[in-house]
Structure 1
Amino acid sequence: MIPRTLPRPAGRPRSRARARRAARILLALTSMAALLSLDLPEAEALPPLGVTVRADADATAARVGALFAGGTDGGHFCTASVVRSAGRDVIATAAHCLGHPDGTVFAPGYRDGGAPYGLWRVTGVFTAPAWTEGEDPDADIAFATVAPADGSVTGNVEDVVGGFPVAAGQPGDVTVTVVGYPSTEEVPLRCANATTLFSATQRRIDCPALSGGTSGSPWLAGGALAGVLGGHEGGGTVPDVSYSAVMGAAALELYREAAA
């Protein structure tokens, strides 16, 4: 028996359903395209590897600051960064930056003459015996505790700006981001690049314009401290090539001592 084909009711409801489904799909695709287009400028804003630019005033830059002798009037001479600790009061820098810690103050997020997160005085210094006894460049990593330098801030520095975790044992070719303050600049500079092992205990990076004052700058691998600018040749004798002592077991033990 041949089935009868009944005429569709007026208005063609199946066509309208298909049209509604097509409209929903088109709306979803349009929304997805809009989201993707919003992400593109952020990706394009990152400079190429090996290019040095001014660091944005973001959460990362807030944890990095300049070191001053006494106060901000005298000019900054090194860079340091806040790292996580039980007391929430520890910074990391190069050991050669803390040879005379009395009167040294730290200004996290320092920019254009201002200290938006206050000034913090150095209250204790942790350096390896290999540095204190012989200034071994492989031990040119130091940690220090800080406290408010005046009444403009209270509490602990990590509560104010947060802190970087510390990550030892990075591969020889790890890509890091360096954030630091040349003594001739009033804003921090930023450069990311792949590193190479200059030796078993020293890491090298090619980044232009990291001149005097950037000693102690954090080398961040995936947002964690993997070294500080220093070590071989005090961190480098030309602005385009910088070094860091490898963050090994001795440096990690030093960090644990300071962080505890």
Structure 2
Amino acid sequence: MQKHLLLPLGGLAATGLLAAALVSPATAASTVSKAKLASPANAADIIDFWTSDSGANLKAAKAYGAEHKRVPKHVSTGGPAADGKPGVVPAIGYEKVAGGKSKNVNLPKTVGRAFFVIDNDLYACSASAIQSQYRNLVATAGHCVYDLDSNRQTVSKWVFVPGYYDGKAPWGVYVGKQAFTHYDFDVYEDLDRDYAFVTVYNGIGYDAKKEAFVDLGPLGSNAGGQGFAYNQKVGQPVFAFGYPAAPHDDGNYVFTGEKMKWCYGKPVYPVVESSVKVEEQIGLKCSMTGGSSGGPWILKYNSNRRLGYINGVTSLGGDTDGNHRSDMITSAYFDGETYGVYRAAYSLWSGSLVKKDGSIGITETK
């Protein structure tokens, strides 16, 4: 029996990323790996690659996934353990605001697609803007940033497009600057730590009349930013958002990746998949397929504000009942070490890529 996973499987690079120790209030010490994605010098080529020909490469990107023969095993006892007190970071702009209730599910502006290249192949995952000091941070899955299949540290030409739909970028394109993940994910392929936080440069748009690029400002100023929650009790209802694109195992193409989808439910724990070293992920009943990797699991989501607290990101998924249809997605449990990785990226500045003449080049100053 086969199932379709939401992440690629394979050997991780033998050389780890640069590691640094970070002390957080929730843990004694959290170990962080970081790597550069793009400098201002090569950003122009990255923007041109994804936006030329009316975004043809955006539309051509494939869901990042692979086939695997084992099915995750649900175990009813045990589960991820909090390593400290529960904590939250409020969403951008709503640090002191209490929101109302809505009967409708209004899709979040923060969620979009992350596009990248591996060996000349075009791929896409899901991701979301998240609160940070300079409003320039994206949350996604670790395997949507780091190349697990070769000796390269990171994927190339990584960009984030919030609110993506049908090849359009309503709030601009954001080039990834630096990526942060857990040291154990980087070095030991520990998919129980399958999450990443990426700092991005200011958004870039294009003025057709002036035939010039436009600086759109920080990501959070345009799309907002979700809050962050860690060490939370498992079982609280969450909304999971993403851009599924891969077919079900029966060959049925339900999703195209061109529009955002969502699931709602109470996560269960733990999900065990020893073949990929997963022992303590949490699972959610959901039919989203490959391409939804990295999409946020949002706790206490408010449809009026379109904001809540990211408490997970989609990692694995597949068919658990043998009918060849995807019916579950999983996420790493967000604990104090997750918070440590998040905080390592939280206060880093990125800056603008657009020069006064409307071209893209080295303008990074502070």
Indicate which of 71, 81, 91 corresponds to 2:128: 81
Q: Which residue of 1 aligns with 2:294?
A: 216
Task: State how many pairs are aligned.
Answer: 200
Query: How does the TM-score come out when normalised to structure 2?
Result: 0.52
Displacement, 1:67? 1.1
Determine the structure 1 residue equivalent to 2:234.
172
SS state at 1:236 partner? strand
Q: What is the CA RMSD across the aligned residues, in angstroms?
A: 2.1
Runs (5+) with no aligned partner, structure 2: 1-99, 147-153, 205-212, 246-255, 272-278, 301-307, 320-325, 348-366
Specify the SS of the correspondent of 1:186: coil
Please identify which structure carries the higher helix content.
1
Cα deviation 1:10-68 (Å, max 9, x = unaligned)? xxxxxxxxxxxxxxxxxxxxxxxxxxxxx99x63x55xxxxxxxxx5x4x1x1001011
C-alpha distance in 2 between matches for 1:119 and 1:179: 19
Q: What is residue 188 of structure 2 aligned with on the other side?
A: 134
Give yes or no for contact 2:203–2:216 (8 Å, CA) kept in 1.
Answer: no
More strand by share: 2
Partner of 1:205: 284
Q: How many Å separate the matches in 2 of 1:153 and 1:67? A: 19
Q: Which SS does the other structure have where 1:103 is aligned?
A: strand
For residues 336 and 280 of structure 2, the distance between their equivalents in structure 1, rounded to whole angstroms, comes to 11
Offset of 1:149 from its aligned partner?
A: 6.0
Equivalent residues in 2 for 1:40-51, closer than 5 Å:
43=103, 45=104
Which sits farther off after the overlay, 100-109 or 90-99? Answer: 100-109
Q: Does the 8 A contact of 2:297 with 2:313 survive in 1? A: yes
Of structures 1 and 2, the larger Rg is shown by 1
- 2:334 equivalent among 233, 236, 247: 247
**Residue 341 of structure 2 aligns to a residue in which SS?**
helix
| Structure 1 runs of 4+ with >6 Å offset | none
Q: Percent identity?
A: 31
Residues 1:190 and 2:262 are matched in the alignment: yes
Relative CO higher for 1 or 2, CA cutoff 8 Å, sep ≥ 6? 2
* Cα distance in structure 1, aligned partners of 2:214 and 2:260: 22
Pair 1:103-2:157 in alignment: yes
- 2:127/2:140 contact within 8 Å kept: yes
**Equivalent residue letter for 1:83:** I
Unaligned runs of 5+ residues in structure 1 are: 1-38, 47-55
Deviations 1:198-252 (A, max 9, x none): 25831110012x100000010000110001001xxxx123321010000011111
State the SS of the aligned residue for 1:79. Answer: strand
Do the aligned residues in 2 keep the contact of 1:77 with 1:212 (CA within 8 Å)? no
TM-score normalised by length of structure 1: 0.72
2:156 pairs with 1:94: no
What's the secondary structure of 2:229's corresponding residue? coil
1:75: how far off? 6.1
Aligned AA (2:157): G
* Letter aligned with residue 270 of structure 2: F
1:225 paired residue among 280, 287, 310 = 310
